[in-house]
Amino acid sequence: MKQKIAILGAGNLGLSLVTGLVESGEYSSDQFTLSRRRVEKLTSFQEKGYITTDNNIEAAKSAELIILAVLPQKINAVLSEIKESITENQLIVSLVSGVSIQEIKEVLGTNNPIVRAMPNTAIAIGESMTCITTLSCWEKHLNEVEKIFNLVGQTAIVNEEKMTSATALCACGIAFFLRAIRAASQGGNEIDFHASEALKMAAQTAKGAAGLLLTNGSHPEDEIDKVTSPKGCTIAGLNEMEHNGFSSAFIKGITVSANKAKELY
């Protein structure tokens, strides 16, 4: 692919995205212009052949595809900054949590097609879960955006009203599952493994558990039933976790994150 892409707000998520796309072999570093206010933080990327700048206008002008990866509180300023400099044949993809397509359109004041995408930081290793949406008038652009994000994980096209929920489950969810793995490794440490051993074991076990569901298309309880025997150690551990609110805490964490995401803009 020879497409020129600008990342406005090249922080953790934006940099994870370009890293994953280049690692896929379909893009090269010189196709990307990375923009952020503190451009010195992009030095390592500049050394790898990425174009870096602190000028959003110049970055946007040079691109066929503009990806907005700024904080929700900054998006209005960025849109106001670039709107006089872009043309209507440039596709805009927003990774910004809690900001609707209509809100972006109103601030931008142009007829540029806009697609929202919500990936997570596992995009850097090609393992993101990315939810994508747009308005009916721009549905023809979904295929293009879906192809990009399929290079760095799996995608799902959803209705826009579900994008805030996608933020909590998929984007914030990375942190939730990492915290669960950390807890498992701490448990492993307590039962006699060194910390580094316990972390490796916990992480690989979590990877295997997820792989079972994705490969078999099964329900978690089906896989759980395969490893729980009457009066066995697995069911004893599961019941102890449930008595202490494991599932309830996880569910509450996701719902609280979703509610918070609605307030970010």
The residue extents of the domains of the chain are 5-158, 167-261
User: Percent helix, strand and coil across the chain, each rounded to 5?
Assistant: 60, 15, 30
pLDDT tens for each residue of 1-50: 578 999 999 999 999 999 999 999 999 999 999 999 999 999 999 999 99
pLDDT tens for each residue of 130-188: 999 999 999 999 999 999 999 999 999 999 999 999 999 999 999 999 999 999 999 99
Class of domain 167-261: mainly alpha
Question: C-alpha 10: how far from its chain's center?
Answer: 14
d(CA 74, CA 171): 19
Class of domain 5-158: alpha beta
In this prediction the pTM is: 0.89
| pLDDT above 70: percentage of residues in the chain | 99
